[in-house]
Amino acid sequence: MKFKVVAGLVLLVLAVGVGWWLVGGPERGQVGSVSTNFRWLGPNDSIAVDGFDDPKIDGVACHISRPERGGVGGAIGTAEDPSDVAIACRQIGPIAFREPIRDGERVFDERRSLVFKSLQVVRFFDPKRNVLVYVAYSDRVLTGSPKNSLSTVPLMSWDGVAAGRPK
């Protein structure tokens, strides 16, 4: 009886993980990638660079770079990618808040293994310095990684248009 319960839970976790993987996170575009390690079988290891806009704030764009494992495991999606990540966010136009924001709100996520690991970017607002703060990190179902990267965007006017303030 215990085996059936455990097997059912494992199948449920796998189904949720595969569904999340297929649906994906917020819209983004791959800017490019660079090969870092030759593999005889499957694709090479690489560093991928993606760009995305803040989903609730006009005028802010971020770019992240992260390693991707190649080889056979990377090709079929079973290799776990390392936790390393770098992020840079910048003002690219007038800043306007489309809807209220919350500190620690997720603005980007991506799976880094078949089920258990993800890369996330969360946003904070520092009212004393009038700055948006973006933190990129990896986490797992049970344990995370202390590896992280940080980028800030000061709220400034753009071509004479004053920057909005969080609601």
| Predicted local confidence at residue 61, as pLDDT | 96
Does residue 31 belong to any structural domain of this protein? no
Does residue 16 belong to any structural domain of this protein? no
Q: How many CB atoms lie within 10 A of CB 11?
A: 10
- Taking alpha carbons only, the member of 118, 122, 114, 115 closest to residue 54 is 122
Does residue 164 belong to any structural domain of this protein? no
Between CA 30 and CA 70 the distance in angstroms is 17
Residue 5 predicted with pLDDT over 50: no
- Domain of residue 56, residue span: 50-67+83-154
| Predicted local confidence at residue 117, as pLDDT | 63
| Predicted local confidence at residue 4, as pLDDT | 46
Average pLDDT of the chain is 76
| Predicted local confidence at residue 25, as pLDDT | 40
Does residue 11 belong to any structural domain of this protein? no
- Extract long-range pairs of 128-137: CB within 8 Å, 24+ residues apart: 129/154, 130/154, 130/155, 131/155, 132/54, 132/57, 132/60, 132/89, 134/62, 134/87, 134/89, 134/107, 135/87, 136/64, 136/85, 136/86, 136/87, 136/108, 137/83, 137/85
Residue 77 predicted with pLDDT over 70: no
| Predicted local confidence at residue 51, as pLDDT | 95
Binned at pLDDT 50, 70 and 90, residue 40 comes out as confident
Does residue 29 belong to any structural domain of this protein? no
Binned at pLDDT 50, 70 and 90, residue 126 comes out as very high
Q: pLDDT tens digits, residue range 23-38?
A: 344 456 888 878 777 7
| Element containing residue 165 per DSSP (H, E) | none
Which has the minimum average pLDDT: 11-20, 84-93, 96-105, 142-151? 11-20
Does residue 35 belong to any structural domain of this protein? no
- pTM of the prediction? 0.72
Domain count, the chain: 1
Does residue 150 belong to any structural domain of this protein? yes
Indicate the Cα dihedral angle 29, 31, 36, 39, nearest 10°.
50
Does residue 13 belong to any structural domain of this protein? no
